[in-house]
Amino acid sequence: YANVNLICEIAERLKVDAVMPMWGHASENPALPSLLKAIKSHRISFIGPPAEPMQALGDKIGSTIIAQSAGVPVIGWNGNGIIIDYEKDGLSDEIYAKANVITSEDALECSNRIGYPVMIKASEGGGGKGIRKVLKAEDVFTSFRQVQAEIPGSPIFIMSMASKARHLEVQLLADKYGNAIALSGRDCSIQRRHQKIIEEGPAVAAPINLFKKMEASAVALAKTVGYCNAGTVEFLYMEETQTYAFLELNPRLQVEHPVTENILGINLPCCQLQVAMGIPLHRIADIRKMYGRHKLGKDNIDFDYTERAVPPRHCVAVRITAENPEASFRPTGGNIQELKFMSSIDVWGYFSVGGSGNIHEFSDSQFGHIFASGPDRESARR
């Protein structure tokens, strides 16, 4: 599923109309939309963002440079002060290189300048890999080499560590005509080893007026690079100072997207498909209903000045993992002896294995997801 050349070969041979990778490695690889576009035999649409904004925003270093240039708040990092005009000049290799920490000595100098504690991060890392917390200068060299070894060849950057911060994210949807909207958000703060365990939406940790500013920042970032289709902008929210900072953008659908679907009553993959077909946001039925318009209407909607009319429900999602709590929650393989789950309207689950299925120790430890929703947070929690 991550073999881009194989995907393109099959798509061309079977004369498919479109490729929809959803999530996973292929969904964030700009080579996939580029290679599909290069196929000459027939037109194949990529149901996701174009290669250029995916390349720019899917990279943690590049996206942070673009975010701070667009006026989005960012946390202190080694690339502070690098400003570009993306619409005019794009993001050149020379500018990118200024924010790429190459050697251990560079890492020490940047860490001392930023101030401890810091996080050393691989730009191509994720899911808890390629990230180290450093509390003092003596640990920089070791941590830097560990990040290099975990994600070989990845550019590396260093950012200030935000203590007592929450991990909040904004769901984006943008069409081919420059329109972009924020579809509420999710709180993904409960994590283990930098991997999400419990997610909920809407995010109630931040005041409503502040979260609206986060939504506006996410939309501004999307419009700056001409983003199209679904994506998620992740922020750190500092409760003590009531401030937020850009973290990264995921140029794809999130695994936890049913949280947003449950709270707003929309179908995100359906919206992705319609955007890829060239339908503008104001003509998509789910979006129109969310803004209080008739689902089959044709009138335009000024999304910058129109509030969502749908009062959000609440949804709590939990990831089901194969881990041993007596061994520091280490991923554990073995056979599933029995697995039964009855979905209902308000409680829905999916699993990647069935009864008598096998989980091997080399896979991601998550094998299921349960989403519980209700009119308010307490009913969803129960």
Q: Report residue 44 as tokens.
A: 């194949």
Strands (E), 138-260: 156-160, 165-174, 180-192, 195-201, 229-238, 243-250
Q: Could you give the CA distance from residue 322 to residue 106 in angstroms, rounded to a whole number?
A: 39
Q: Could you give the CA distance from residue 181 to residue 171 in angstroms, rounded to a whole number?
A: 8
**Contact present, 89 and 83 (Cβ < 8 Å):** no
DSSP-derived letter for residue 21 is -
Q: Could you give the CA distance from residue 30 to residue 21 in angstroms, rounded to a whole number?
A: 12
Q: Could you give the CA distance from residue 89 to residue 96 in angstroms, rounded to a whole number?
A: 13
Q: Could you give the CA distance from residue 213 to residue 262 in angstroms, rounded to a whole number?
A: 23
Q: Which of 166, 186, 252, 283 is catalytic?
A: 252
193 is catalytic: no
Q: Which residue from 21, 19, 20 is spatially nearest to 9, judged by alpha carbons?
A: 19
Q: Which residues are catalytic?
A: 252
